[in-house]
A and B are shown apart, each in its own frame.
Chain A
Amino acid sequence: DQQVKQNSPSLSVQEGRISILNCDYTNSMFDYFLWYKKYPAEGPTFLISISSIKDKNEDGRFTVFLNKSAKHLSLHIVPSQPGDSAVYFCAASAYTGNQFYFGTGTSLTVIP
């Protein structure tokens, strides 16, 4: 039972444009969300997080938006750079637990 879903397995974007990666979740108890970036042959690295008390969190070129009523979050990368080409995973957790639930990932390709 996939509680966190990333319905787009891949995304291609031109360099300098905006990349929007989407994530949906089903468990209303989730209140902490993270995005990870993964290069081949490396483990995922933490990118940005957001708690349910916020609807937006920004860190440089990366912004995460949370829509609790729709159980949806998105990661915006502006402007996109070729070095952003990687697989992006979203993850969710409930405050009462220490287990993170990951999506299946979206492979982003930024075309120079």
Chain B
Amino acid sequence: DAGVIQSPRHEVTEMGQEVTLRCKPISGHNSLFWYRQTMMRGLELLIYFNNNVPIDDSGMPEDRFSAKMPNASFSTLKIQPSEPRDSAVYFCASSYIGRGNEQFFGPGTRLTVL
């Protein structure tokens, strides 16, 4: 079992640039979650999808952030334009709602915006 796969693992970019983070959930899972982790704010849920449909995006900080899930095996989180305060570790997690509900996390993408 490959687990949740995220890419890239590290991203360094300059302010104003577009950043795209990618996630491949565990095969067979029906829900996907994007989180952001910082020292100041801890772990924050940004958005989650069920059966590829966004259910709750109330955690998305602002319009610069967008997320898509075009199919059951792929999701993206895009930041455009990026700002230094977006620097954080971004985690993707997947789960099978209705079977325990525990979430399985990817290794994260460490984003640094200069």
Q: Do A and B come from one complex?
A: no
